[in-house]
């Protein structure tokens, strides 16, 4: 998974978590609001009903009161109850409470009906009751105690009047019923006048009304406490509390879920961090530890030595077979390393430290075996090809080991030294090699060289090349000298490797050509200038040379380029092209250091060369070594056949000079025939 995908994933989960927290927050808030709202509604309902009870009792108590408040309370109670039962939050989240509320509504509506009936009864009974005293006053005016039936009436009216007040106060329906019956038995028909009969009828009517309405009156008051509405409300409250508890558990569950999700997310991020930490220490291709892991191992562990293994010319495999094969090759190599060191896997750690460089870190305990293991490795690759797809590839490795900290640096220096010397596959770092001092010296030299190049302190010295046939113009090889600020003059020789490494050879070449040309203006003869094959790979240098030749045709025609094969030439095309390009200016071509090991005879035939400069390694032992003698003879014969002339280098004494002359070499160059000197 790439990092962008990982980040998106974590961000997505984070967003989900945030959404979860947000929705929880909203839900929780709304839960609290709803709960409060509903709880208060229930409280309000109870308060309203108690208020209604008080108002009903009040209206029973006062003879003429304002009943608007009763109606107002009933309406408010009904609206509040309806609002709650229509509240979707209530019915959805509190189904049991909602059911209880419906039950309460039914009970309360019965109670309200009975209150309406109570109102009717109350008014009728009040009026009937309060008319009794005035009827009694009227009776006392009309009736006489002298007549027995009238006396009975007066007595009965008094008893009934008193009884009604007692019964009303005691809510005694039975007594009212008795009194009502007693009134109906009054002997109204026996009275003599219409006024008396009417009075008696009115008493009977009032008592009938009282008797008729009293049950509603009693029931109305009784229902206030016995309707069961308060019990229903209590049940509702219990259900509500219970359901709140259930909701609370759900909220806790949700919060817990969010918490767990949070921890999981945290765990995931930590896992991914750890993994990417681990990945950052692991080479993806070979799964070996990488440079970072190596550095950590060095910091934390105790190790005795590092063995660096470099695959020789790995770049060539990559270029030739392609990167895929190159990768497979690396894997295969790493697998072989692993299997070779596997018996000691607890004491040897294997790393891939660079593109084609592996490292084996040895613990002190196994130090004694390190040489044997290195030999095993070298031997394995010398004798076994790597099989990659259908290819069998033999590779070689260069090994540098060091027991001196810092391991990597010392082993690396040893490796460089080994690569430069090219004559061995294994080196062990030894402080006596002075590698570090060499590096420091190199750095100082590089500074000196740069300084000389930029301050016009490169001087050409000219060494004569003497014709042994005696009949030709003088020739000189132009050799670069470095003028130190203190006035001493140094050969360029010790700077040669630096020139290539620091990519300064082109600069030096230009200065040498310029200065040689200016000398040539005043001198006759041919002048040769050194040119390395790598200079010819640089198009800008070649173009500069061509322009310079164009500008000074009389110098160009006397110029010899000494081409040095300083490395294996894979591609001769740039050299061929250069030769073709400079020929029109009259330039000649020499091959420098011919016979030093690189040169390819067959290729040279195609290059139309003018001179072969025979390498010093063949000339120096000429007087003593018959083999060298034979080789030089062969070269001379070959050159003659190919119509080339030969130049012997390093002719340092008479013996060599004589041998050279005897072999028929065309020119001699060396201290015996002339030292390099400045020309004015």
Residues that bind another protein (CB under 8 A): 33, 36-37, 40-41, 43-44, 47-48, 51, 54-55, 58, 63-71, 73, 76, 116, 119-120, 122-124, 126-128, 130-131, 134, 202, 205-206, 209, 213
**490 pairs with which residues across the strands?**
482
Identity of the residue, 217 or 358, whose beta carbon is nearer to another protein in the bound complex: 217
What distance in Å separates the CA atoms of residue 285 and residue 331, rounded to the nearest whole number?
A: 7
Identity of the residue, 36 or 246, whose beta carbon is nearer to another protein in the bound complex: 36
Helices (H) and strands (E) in the chain, counts: 23, 16
Identity of the residue, 68 or 521, whose beta carbon is nearer to another protein in the bound complex: 68
Q: Is the dihedral of CA 339, 344, 349, 353 positive or negative?
A: negative
**Minimal CA–CA distance to 117: which of 212, 217, 209?**
217
3 state DSSP class of 474: coil
Least Å distance between CB 220 and another protein?
Answer: 12
Residue 432 vs residues 308, 412, 435, 439: alpha-carbon distances, Å: 19, 15, 8, 14
What distance in Å separates the CA atoms of residue 554 and residue 406, rounded to the nearest whole number?
A: 58
Q: What is the dihedral angle through the alpha carbons of 410, 415, 417, 422, rounded to the nearest 10 degrees?
A: 170
Least Å distance between CB 48 and another protein?
Answer: 6
Least Å distance between CB 71 and another protein?
Answer: 5
Least Å distance between CB 277 and another protein?
Answer: 53
Q: What is the dihedral angle through the alpha carbons of 82, 87, 91, 94, rounded to the nearest 10 degrees?
A: -100
Least Å distance between CB 51 and another protein?
Answer: 5
Identity of the residue, 199 or 622, whose beta carbon is nearer to another protein in the bound complex: 199
Least Å distance between CB 67 and another protein?
Answer: 5
Least Å distance between CB 132 and another protein?
Answer: 10
Least Å distance between CB 273 and another protein?
Answer: 47
Identity of the residue, 130 or 226, whose beta carbon is nearer to another protein in the bound complex: 130
Least Å distance between CB 205 and another protein?
Answer: 5
What distance in Å separates the CA atoms of residue 113 and residue 296, rounded to the nearest whole number?
A: 91
Identity of the residue, 67 or 448, whose beta carbon is nearer to another protein in the bound complex: 67
Contacts 24+ apart (CB under 8 A), 315-320: 315/356, 317/393, 317/395
Identity of the residue, 37 or 450, whose beta carbon is nearer to another protein in the bound complex: 37
Cβ burial, residue 92 (10 Å; 0-12/13-18/19+): exposed
Least Å distance between CB 7 and another protein?
Answer: 44
Least Å distance between CB 27 and another protein?
Answer: 17
**Minimal CA–CA distance to 347: which of 323, 318, 368?**
368
Residue 636 vs residues 565, 571, 640: alpha-carbon distances, Å: 19, 26, 6
Identity of the residue, 229 or 398, whose beta carbon is nearer to another protein in the bound complex: 229
**Minimal CA–CA distance to 438: which of 421, 450, 457?**
421
Identity of the residue, 15 or 43, whose beta carbon is nearer to another protein in the bound complex: 43
Least Å distance between CB 80 and another protein?
Answer: 9
Identity of the residue, 176 or 209, whose beta carbon is nearer to another protein in the bound complex: 209
Identity of the residue, 78 or 617, whose beta carbon is nearer to another protein in the bound complex: 78
Least Å distance between CB 44 and another protein?
Answer: 6
What distance in Å separates the CA atoms of residue 315 and residue 321, rounded to the nearest whole number?
A: 10
Q: Is the dihedral of CA 153, 155, 161, 164 positive or negative?
A: negative
**Minimal CA–CA distance to 41: which of 94, 2, 5, 3?**
94
What distance in Å separates the CA atoms of residue 376 and residue 76, rounded to the nearest whole number?
A: 102
Identity of the residue, 124 or 529, whose beta carbon is nearer to another protein in the bound complex: 124
**Minimal CA–CA distance to 162: which of 138, 184, 145, 182?**
182
3 state DSSP class of 589: strand
Buried b (16+ CB within 10 A) or exposed e, 412-441: bbbbebbeeeeeebbbbbeeeeebeeeeee
Identity of the residue, 97 or 122, whose beta carbon is nearer to another protein in the bound complex: 122
Identity of the residue, 51 or 371, whose beta carbon is nearer to another protein in the bound complex: 51
Identity of the residue, 176 or 498, whose beta carbon is nearer to another protein in the bound complex: 176
**Minimal CA–CA distance to 562: which of 467, 647, 436?**
647
Least Å distance between CB 31 and another protein?
Answer: 14
Judge whether 358 and 337 are in contact, CB under 8 Å: yes
Helix (H) or strand (E) holding 461: strand 458-467
What distance in Å separates the CA atoms of residue 482 and residue 457, rounded to the nearest whole number?
A: 6
Instruction: Extract the runs of DSSP E, i.e. beta strands, from 543-654.
Output: 559-564, 588-594, 611-614, 645-648
Least Å distance between CB 174 and another protein?
Answer: 21
């Amino acid at each position: 998974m790439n990092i962008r995908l990982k980040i998106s994933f974590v961000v997505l989960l984070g967003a989900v978590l945030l959404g979860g927290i947000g929705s929880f927050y909203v839900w929780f808030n709304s839960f609290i609001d709803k709960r409060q709202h509903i709880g208060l509604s229930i409280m309000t309902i109870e308060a309203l009903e108690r208020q209604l009870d008080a108002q009903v009792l009040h209206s029973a108590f006062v003879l003429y009161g304002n009943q608007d408040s009763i109606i107002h309370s009933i309406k408010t109670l009904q609206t509040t109850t309806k609002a709650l039962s229509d509240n979707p939050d209530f019915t959805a989240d509190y189904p049991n409470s909602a059911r209880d509320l419906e039950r309460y509504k039914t009970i309360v509506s019965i109670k309200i009906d009975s209150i309406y009936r109570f109102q009717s009864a109350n008014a009728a009974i009040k009026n009937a009751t309060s008319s009794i005293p005035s009827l009694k006053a009227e009776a006392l005016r009309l009736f006489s105690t002298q007549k027995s039936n009238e006396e009975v009436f007066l007595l009965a009216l008094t008893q009934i009047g008193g009884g009604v007040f007692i019964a009303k106060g005691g809510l005694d329906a039975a007594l009212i019923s008795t009194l009502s019956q007693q009134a109906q038995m009054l002997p109204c028909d026996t009275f003599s006048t219409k006024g008396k009969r009417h009075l008696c009828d009115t008493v009977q009517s009032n008592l009938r009304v009282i008797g008729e309405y009293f049950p509603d009156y009693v029931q109305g008051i009784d229902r206030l406490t016995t309707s069961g509405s308060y019990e229903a409300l209590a049940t509702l409250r219990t259900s509500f509390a219970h359901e709140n508890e259930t909701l609370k558990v759900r909220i806790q569950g949700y919060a817990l879920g969010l918490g767990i999700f949070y921890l999981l997310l945290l765990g995931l991020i930590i896992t991914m961090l750890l993994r990417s930490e681990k990945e950052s220490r692991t080479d993806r291709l070979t799964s070996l530890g990488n440079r970072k892991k190596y550095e950590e191992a060095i910091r934390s562990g105790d190790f005795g030595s590092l063995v660096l293994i470099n695959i020789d010319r790995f770049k060539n495999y990559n270029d030739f077979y392609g990167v895929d094969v190159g990768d497979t090759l690396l894997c295969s190599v790493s697998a072989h390393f692993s299997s070779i060191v596997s018996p000691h896997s607890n004491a040897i750690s294997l790393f891939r430290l660079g593109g084609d460089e592996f490292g084996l870190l040895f613990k002190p305990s196994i130090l004694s075996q390190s040489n044997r293991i290195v030999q095993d490795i070298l031997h394995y690759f010398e004798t076994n090809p790597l099989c990659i797809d259908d290819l069998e590839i033999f590779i070689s490795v260069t090994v540098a080991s060091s027991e001196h900290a810092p391991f990597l640096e010392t082993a690396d220096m040893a490796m460089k030294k080994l690569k430069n010397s090219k004559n061995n596959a294994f080196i062990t770092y030894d402080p006596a090699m002075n590698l570090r001092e060499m590096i420091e010296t190199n750095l100082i030299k590089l500074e000196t060289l740069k300084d000389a190049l930029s301050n016009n302190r490169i001087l050409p010295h000219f060494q004569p090349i003497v014709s042994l046939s005696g009949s030709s113009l003088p020739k000189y090889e132009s050799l670069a000298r470095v003028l130190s600020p203190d006035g001493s003059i140094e050969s360029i020789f010790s700077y040669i490797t630096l020139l290539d490494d620091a990519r300064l050879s082109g600069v030096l070449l230009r200065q040498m050509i310029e200065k040689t040309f200016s000398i040539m203006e005043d001198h006759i003869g041919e002048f040769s200038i050194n040119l390395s094959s790598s200079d010819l790979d640089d198009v800008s240098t070649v173009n500069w040379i061509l322009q310079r030749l164009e500008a000074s045709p009389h110098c160009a025609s006397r110029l010899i380029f000494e081409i040095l094969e300083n490395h294996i030439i894979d591609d001769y095309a740039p050299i061929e092209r250069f030769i073709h390009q400079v020929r029109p200016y009259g330039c000649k071509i020499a091959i420098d250091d011919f016979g030093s090991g690189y040169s390819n005879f067959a290729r040279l035939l195609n290059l139309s060369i003018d001179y072969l400069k025979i390498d010093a390694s063949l000339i120096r032992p000429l007087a003593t070594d018959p083999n060298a003698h034979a080789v030089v003879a062969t070269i001379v014969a070959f050159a003659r056949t190919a119509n080339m002339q030969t130049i012997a280098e390093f002719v340092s004494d008479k013996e060599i000079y004589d041998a050279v002359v005897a072999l028929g070499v065309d020119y001699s160059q060396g201290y015996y025939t002339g030292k390099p000197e400045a020309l004015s």
